[in-house]
Amino acid sequence: MDGNGRWAKKRALPRAVGHQRGVEAVRRLVRALAPTGLECLTLYAFSSENWKRPDEEVDDLMNLMRRFIRSDLPEFVANNVKLKIIGDWQSLAPDIVAMLEDALAQTANGTQTLAVALNYGGQHEIARAAAKASAAGGGISIETIAAHLDTADLPPLDLLIRTSGEVRLSNFLLWQAAYAEMLFVDTLWPDFEPAHLTRALDDFARRERRYGGR
């Protein structure tokens, strides 16, 4: 979900406003999730590298997260959305961890999954999964690492979309993206609408997936 800062800069607004508008884009997608038939939508909300940003911006993002959980949790429940958190989220501030644990419990019976990557980095995830596989005594292999990924209980990644015109993965779902289709769009995240997702799914439906074969 890239482009919040540039969206704000183009309008001579504080970056915090861009992040707020980014949350509104998330709300629009969640409300439009049911008709898509998607099993799971995964959003990269806060990376392990985002801690390098100025303290003020990190504080704004954490406070925005708190407000989002409080205000939108009832809507998640009402729309049968199951929340899943990936990343090292349990090392966040204790009050945020408690709020997330409550949100996970309240949405456990949802029929469509919204996975949110918090304090997430793909390289860290693979390293953690390999360490868990080794500790479990089953040896390290593709299968044992996959079984210990944060996404082990989620469906395979089919389509990865990056907004804002940047053409790179930025440490997101590196393992899972091995055979995923990719789509890079110029739209800044705050301007991303459900119609953009619909067009992306239409584009995906027209692609022929070969998984290394002909």
In tens, the pLDDT along 92-130 reads 999 999 999 999 999 999 999 999 999 999 999 999 999
- pLDDT band per the 50, 70, 90 thresholds, residue 138: confident
Region 125-154: what's the mean pLDDT?
Answer: 95
- Is the pLDDT confidence value at 25 over 70? yes
Domains, in order of start, for the chain? 4-205 (3.40.1180.10)
- pLDDT band per the 50, 70, 90 thresholds, residue 147: very high
- pLDDT of the residue at 211: 83
* Catalytic residue flag (residue 50): yes
| Number of helical H runs and strand E runs in the chain | 8, 5
- Is the pLDDT confidence value at 213 over 80? no
Write down the catalytic residue from 50, 79, 158, 171.
50
Task: Return mean pLDDT, the chain.
Answer: 95
Region 61-67: what's the mean pLDDT?
Answer: 94
The conformational region for residue 170 under phi > 0 = left, psi -120 to 50 = alpha, else beta, is: left
Write down the catalytic residue from 2, 60, 72, 150.
2
Region 145-171: what's the mean pLDDT?
Answer: 97
CA distance 169 to 137: 32
